Amino acid sequence: MHEKLYDVLRPLTEGMIMDQFRNRLDNPNLDSKERERIMKYGVSLAGKQFLPHITLGKLKNPADAKVIVDIKPRYLNIDLEKIVVGQLEYEGQMTWADLIESS
């Protein structure tokens, strides 16, 4: 499913590489496999190294991290058969969507 999501979502990023990973590309000792993942996916933990996760939010002020720093993550296993990706507009309407099914 990760590869199917990549096929749908990566074109939307217009080849963007996150800054923290772009900086790694300057390192001549960077592992060739990691370099390849950064160039293909825009991040280093992708493909077989991908760690599935759901981002629930982003802190506006990094100083607020003290509120959540002691929360211990809970890991759970879920089986996904389908996932919908899309774009929500300001009022919450989905302007486009794509259904991705696991094989």
The Cα 70–Cα 83 span in angstroms is 31
Q: Which of 30-39, 56-65, 88-97 has maximum average pLDDT?
A: 30-39
34-38, 55-59, 86-90: least confident range: 86-90
Q: How many whole angstroms separate alpha carbon 48 and alpha carbon 39?
A: 15
- Any bridge partners for residue 83, and if so which? 100
pTM: 0.52
Q: Which residues contact 13 (CB under 8 A, 6 or more apart)?
A: 42
Residue 44, pLDDT above cutoff 80: yes
Amino acid at residue number 76: L
The first and second tokens of residue 2, run together, are 């990760």
